[in-house]
Structure 1
Amino acid sequence: MGASTEKGDRPVSQSEGPVDVEQVDRVAVPPVTPQSFAHLDEKAILRKMDMRLIPMLALLYLLSFLDRGNIGNAKIEGLQENLGLTDDQYNWCLTAFFFTYAAFEVPSNLMLKKVRPSIWLPAIMVAWGIVMTLMGIVHNYAGLLTARIFLGVTEAGLFPGVAYYLTNWYRREEIQLRQAMFFSAASVAGAFSGLLAFAIGKMDGVGGLHGWQWIFILEGIATVIVATIAFFALFDFPGTASFLTEEERAFVVYRLKYQGQSQDRNGAQVAQADAFKWEYVKDAFLDWQIWVNIFVYWGVVCPLYGISLFLPTIIRELGYKSSEAQLMTVPIYITAAILAVVAAYFSDKVGKRSPFIVGFLLMMAVGFSMCIGTDPKEHPRVVYGGVFVAACAIYPAFPGVIAWLSNNLSGSLKRSVGMALQIGVGNLGGAMASNFYRARDAPRYRLGHGLELGFIGGGLIASLILVIGYTAQNKKRARRIEEGALDSYSSQELSEKGDRAITYRYVL
């Protein structure tokens, strides 16, 4: 097994490169069957993985979401006035981030397949921490716009990278709970951002800098510090994890390799294909389900960014002071984080994604309807209640959409590219949402709330299309197996077909 060792991983030959789920053939002594691991405590192993992986990943994403969204907090601390930005210029600074953020997500996930996660993820984190720190010393529109463009480039790889990374540790019936625990950091970031902005805003004038500048500088420095720790705290893949015994490593890799497939014509289990082939990349770009899922993603992500970028401003326009508006975002985000984990637990338990996603989309529609149908001057509490309801649906829905697609993509490479496509193209919704809430529409924001409702409606329609399509494909494949079509395929052919194999069943 080699003598060299890297950080938290077991000794492994450097010639092996990044280790993925195909490692079962190297870490386990053949023959390997489910009975080989019957004596192991699966729940204990999962708890061990949760404790070693989720807290650090959640911290990384908390800082990521904090750094991309803190411009909303900086705005009500005087950023726009101090830089002399027009409303349109401010919105362009929001929008520009998403163009580069979307463009670099697929390349970043391909790099993650070539470079170890414990190197790639902290490296891009250091880069965006530096960009964030420098954003605190910009003096004009051009400087802020440039910084936001580079922030999009450097942050692009984290979320799709971690979302894919988790699928290399957890089976598809376990993934949403872990995605939710990781993503709930976004909710906590929203609450934390408000509290931090409230506190840091008091530093206005310290060192000759404005309060909004200190928000960017201090949060950027914190990101670089955590990234340095992450170089030593992150693990790569289960086949090399030092916190697992060799037998546990073999078990985790085996259960991932043989998930989501039935037996072949000889009764043997069919493994997922994990070799790097450009045809798998092409297959991801041409898969109908990914492009339909993007519309579901937009139905959630447009409201998500509408809330994260403009919530302090929306609340302030209800008649509250800036400091009060910052603090009033906290209970919204804390409640949303708790609901995200609870909903994910039950979604994994019943093995369904669409009922929860559709339910939360409807709940979001109720929240934004409360906002658009209420005069904020007469009933500010109703509008606050509306954004509260909407946020408490958005944050549980988001990990469900990510988990739904990852559940239905088989093969490590296709899943990596497919998830990056979903998140990359999907995050163009953020570019749109950053222009929904215009200053001239305050305080009612009819246009912004109305556009959010439109995207929610599109997400509902796309969800129904996926359910109908998946159901039809599952029935068709079951019928073909009954007719004896399985006899025409070898184990290798079924493995290479991935989620297109007649033995594969889509998760609803």
Structure 2
Amino acid sequence: MAKAHSENLETASADIEKHSGHNLHGAAERGFVATDRHGESLVQFNPEAERKLRNKLDYMIVPTVSILYLFCFIDRANIGNARLAGFETDLGLVGYDYNTVLSIFYVSYIVFEIPSNLACKWIGPGWFLPAISLGFGISSLGTAFVHTKSAACGVRFVLGAFEAGMMPGISYYLSRWYRRSELTFRLSLFIVMAPLAGAFGGLLASGILKLDHFGSLHSWRMIFGIEGIITIGLSIISFFTLTDRPETARWLTQEEKDLAIARVKSERMAQASVLDKPDKQKLWLGFWNPVVLSTAFVFLLNNITVQGLSFFTPTIVGTIYPMKSTIEKQLYTVPPYVVGAVFVLGLSLGSWRFDRRTIFIVATAPLTMLGYILFLASDEARVRYAAAFLAATSTFALGPLANAQTSAAVVSDTSRSMAIGSNVMFGNIGGLIATWSYLPSDGPDYKIGNGINLAAASLILIVSTGQLLWMSWDNKRRNGLDIDSELEGMTQTEIESLEWKHPGFRWRP
């Protein structure tokens, strides 16, 4: 057996001896599969070498995408803060006009979701993510100069088109670098920016509104102007700091590049390369997958609450504390998001340690349900404010869990780009529903909106529990298959294209 990089390779086992090319370097190359027919890795790694590499990836990869996503979410949700500062009044919005402006964003978001993620694979995340970040920064800046409902709808449509590729693109990007068990926590490190955007966005908005003007901009226009310029600056920097894939990472040694590629490849059953060429069969199976579709439906339900909180928390806080000043109302929106951020990281860390996702998705539902029960049951300001904490506690955590689960439910890179894109597309259908969940006629208690969110959380509990039971049943069925006879007569290309239908594949709850 070749001895290249042997310090990162532990005792090889009989399988590696039999396949002499399957050392660390061989497993990183195209043309070599890194698993046997049962999906077991043919390569074992030194845990200490993996830990050092993982730490390096965490320092070099995660901060850039996290900061980009932070301002992506701020640029999406700052319209809620602008509403408190006179956005509706200045644009002459009445009745359901505000909901229309919100929903037009999701029309383009949904339409461009899957195409954006396929473009991300084709162009490469290192260029694609900074480019769309620049686009939504410019779009956010443009919102500062709108004067009519039509103009606001137009700029929000463009913003949605650029932001469509952000969450699925980053999720897909991180799957190029991390193992299945590691991915949930790394996804949480950028998705936690959603609740932090709510907290930081409120603080930033309150600080901006203390200014007399910013150039020719006043009041709510300063929020879009200043935050848009910050996003533009960060996106330009990311063109130089975001590394596309391990092979192009100048900050990794050749030994570390081989280890980074081989680690990911060791979990991709029967795949001869980590970054495969797009294939129609793999694209279809990335979408037509029972776990991907059920998880995507759960994510749709979850986003009714996540996006509803983002857009309407300032409004809800305003109804709880109507006598507070605008800046005080902005500041009251911050604490629930901070608590939500803590739980995002905590639940995702547990998912990493146990290499489980669905069971944690099941666990997110009860607290959200309790929060909306309190919203519906009480008129007391303190109780309703506490309910906002309960709703934020677990609802944001489902983002990294759902994206990690769809990533774990497929095998190839091509299927993964489709699966994650599909998941986030469904999620933003939930966002579209959220824009019409809190209507002016339903205020100030918003019983319909809160009832919709209670129903969504209840369905999450039912569907995710059902998914957990089905995966257990199907794994038992697969255990009774004779893998060798099932694969008999197939070529390597045909075996690769089986994806999750490979008899050796097992669902990982």
TM-score normalised over the length of structure 1? 0.89
Gaps of 5+ in 2: 1-24, 35-40
Gaps of 5+ in 1: 1-20
Counterpart-to-counterpart distance in 2, 1:39 and 1:285 = 34
Equivalent position of 2:11 in the other structure: none
Q: Which amino acid aligns with 1:436?
A: S
Q: Which amino acid aligns with 2:194?
A: A
Shift of 1:326: 0.8
Equivalent position of 2:316 in the other structure: 314
Q: Does 1:349 align with 2:357?
A: no
Give 1:298's match in structure 2, choosing from 290, 297, 300.
300
CA offsets per residue over residues 313-368 of structure 1, 9 Å max, x none? Answer: 10111123321121112121122112211111111111211221111111110111
CA offsets per residue over residues 355-411 of structure 1, 9 Å max, x none? Answer: 211111111101111111111xxx101000001111011112221111111111111
Q: Does 1:69 align with 2:70?
A: no
Shift of 1:26: 5.6
Q: Which amino acid aligns with 1:346?
A: G
CA offsets per residue over residues 198-225 of structure 1, 9 Å max, x none? Answer: 0111235555533100000111111100
Shift of 1:287: 2.5
Q: Does 1:457 align with 2:458?
A: yes
CA offsets per residue over residues 421-473 of structure 1, 9 Å max, x none? Answer: 11013201111101111122222110100001111222222212322322222
Counterpart-to-counterpart distance in 1, 2:186 and 2:385 = 30
Shift of 1:118: 1.7
Alpha carbons of structure 1 residues 23 and 159: separation in structure 2 relative to 1, 3 Å = farther
Counterpart-to-counterpart distance in 1, 2:48 and 2:185 = 22
CA offsets per residue over residues 131-179 of structure 1, 9 Å max, x none? Answer: 1111101111111111111110111111110011111111111100000
Alpha carbons of structure 1 residues 66 and 480: separation in structure 2 relative to 1, 3 Å = same
CA offsets per residue over residues 5-60 of structure 1, 9 Å max, x none? Answer: xxxxxxxxxxxxxxxx99921699x9x9625x548611010000000011111000
Counterpart-to-counterpart distance in 1, 2:257 and 2:181 = 19
Equivalent position of 1:86 in the other structure: 94
Q: Which amino acid aligns with 1:106?
A: I
Q: Does 1:502 align with 2:506?
A: no
Counterpart-to-counterpart distance in 2, 1:416 and 1:426 = 15
Q: Does 1:338 align with 2:346?
A: no
Deviates more, 1:308-317 or 1:195-204: 195-204
Alpha carbons of structure 1 residues 110 and 42: separation in structure 2 relative to 1, 3 Å = same
Q: Which amino acid aligns with 1:230?
A: S
Q: Does 1:243 align with 2:251?
A: yes
Equivalent position of 1:190 in the other structure: 198
Equivalent position of 1:202 in the other structure: 210
Counterpart-to-counterpart distance in 1, 2:78 and 2:234 = 18
Deviates more, 1:289-298 or 1:185-194: 289-298
Equivalent position of 1:419 in the other structure: 420
**Residues 328-477 of structure 1 aligned to structure 2 (within 5 Å):** 328-375=332-379, 379-477=380-478
Equivalent position of 1:17 in the other structure: none
Contact 2:213 2:222 in 1 (8 A): no
Counterpart-to-counterpart distance in 1, 2:406 and 2:63 = 24
CA offsets per residue over residues 258-295 of structure 1, 9 Å max, x none? Answer: 2054xx8xxxx987782321222222333333222222
Equivalent position of 2:129 in the other structure: 121
Alpha carbons of structure 1 residues 26 and 478: separation in structure 2 relative to 1, 3 Å = closer
Shift of 1:496: 2.3
Equivalent position of 1:9 in the other structure: none
Contact 2:361 2:398 in 1 (8 A): yes
Shift of 1:236: 0.5
Counterpart-to-counterpart distance in 1, 2:364 and 2:489 = 42
TM-score normalised over the length of structure 2? 0.89
Deviates more, 1:116-125 or 1:90-99: 116-125
Equivalent position of 1:481 in the other structure: 482
Q: Which amino acid aligns with 1:229?
A: I
Counterpart-to-counterpart distance in 2, 1:22 and 1:142 = 57
Contact 1:198 1:323 in 2 (8 A): yes
Counterpart-to-counterpart distance in 1, 2:236 and 2:345 = 28
Q: Which amino acid aligns with 1:173?
A: S
Shift of 1:126: 1.0
Equivalent position of 1:166 in the other structure: 174
Counterpart-to-counterpart distance in 1, 2:454 and 2:481 = 41
SS at match of 1:243: coil
Alpha carbons of structure 1 residues 92 and 39: separation in structure 2 relative to 1, 3 Å = closer
Counterpart-to-counterpart distance in 1, 2:338 and 2:310 = 13
Contact 1:273 1:495 in 2 (8 A): no
Alpha carbons of structure 1 residues 42 and 207: separation in structure 2 relative to 1, 3 Å = closer
Equivalent position of 2:226 in the other structure: 218
Shift of 1:305: 0.5
Shift of 1:227: 0.5
Give 1:281's match in structure 2, choosing from 280, 283, 294.
283
Deviates more, 1:87-96 or 1:282-291: 282-291
Counterpart-to-counterpart distance in 2, 1:136 and 1:410 = 44
**Residues 45-60 of structure 1 aligned to structure 2 (within 5 Å):** 45-60=53-68
SS at match of 1:202: coil
Equivalent position of 1:254 in the other structure: 262
Alpha carbons of structure 1 residues 272 and 241: separation in structure 2 relative to 1, 3 Å = closer
Alpha carbons of structure 1 residues 474 and 22: separation in structure 2 relative to 1, 3 Å = farther
Deviates more, 1:352-361 or 1:303-312: 352-361
Contact 2:483 2:504 in 1 (8 A): no
Q: Which amino acid aligns with 1:496?
A: S
Deviates more, 1:105-114 or 1:230-239: 105-114
Superposition RMSD on alpha carbons, in Å? 2.5
Q: Percent identity?
A: 33
Counterpart-to-counterpart distance in 2, 1:211 and 1:142 = 20
Q: Which amino acid aligns with 1:314?
A: I
CA offsets per residue over residues 81-116 of structure 1, 9 Å max, x none? Answer: 111101311110000000101111111111112212
Q: Which amino acid aligns with 1:329?
A: T
Contact 1:298 1:459 in 2 (8 A): no
Counterpart-to-counterpart distance in 2, 1:485 and 1:388 = 51
Equivalent position of 2:15 in the other structure: none
SS at match of 2:267: coil
Contact 2:301 2:427 in 1 (8 A): no
Contact 1:27 1:250 in 2 (8 A): no
Q: Which amino acid aligns with 1:280?
A: K
Give 1:180's match in structure 2, choosing from 185, 188, 201.
188
Contact 1:258 1:271 in 2 (8 A): no
Shift of 1:246: 0.5
